[in-house]
A = this chain, B = another copy of it.
Amino acid sequence: MATVTLIEYAEASAPVRAVYDDIMATRKTDWVNNFWKALANHPPTLERTWESVKAVMAPGALDPLTKEMLYLAVSATNGCDYCIASHTAGARKAGMTDEMLGELMAVVGMANETNRLADGYQVEIDDMFKSPGTHAQGGGR
């Protein structure tokens, strides 16, 4: 149960409604999910967060599906239930198939395993990996 009251459209102030309207227009949906209704308790955070998410998730050098999958990988690593549910839905809407989800989770699982092994043994970074901004020969994990 949320620690703040979820603010519905009907009770929202004009600035909050403007954000809700933009969320629905941008996503081509007719509803707003609970995350934004919680943030609406602090309008500056609602506005700033939505503007940031909209900018970051827009198509660019990476396509929207790849971005949604990256978002899901981070959310699974952090164990954020809400974010896992919403971004699994978001990635599917953007085209993620069951097979892609299976491979995504396999990568997330392995990365979490090897992250802890590398930390657990305190492995030193190879000199070959220390080349900022260059296309270092490499690929280890």
Contact = CB atoms under 8 A, between A and B. Distances in A.
Contact of A123 (B82, B103, B133): B82
Contacts of A60: 99, 103
Given A93-B137, A125-B34, A132 B83 contact: no
Contact of A141 (B76, B87, B92, B97): B87
Nearest to A135: B92
A87 B73 CA distance: 15
A47 to B, nearest CB: 10
B108 A1 contact: no
B31 A119 contact: no
Given A133-B98, A139-B29, A74 B2 contact: no
Nearest to A88: B3
Given A77-B78, A89-B136, A139-B94, A111 B99 contact: no
Size class of the A contact interface (CB-based, 8 Å): 35 or more
- Give the number of times this chain occurs in the complex, counting copies: 6
Most buried by B among A35, A36, A119: A119
Contacts of A133: 3-5, 41, 98
A35 B105 contact: no
Contacts of A87: 141
Contact of A109 (B82, B88, B117, B132): B117
Given A42-B106, A93-B136, A75 B126 contact: no
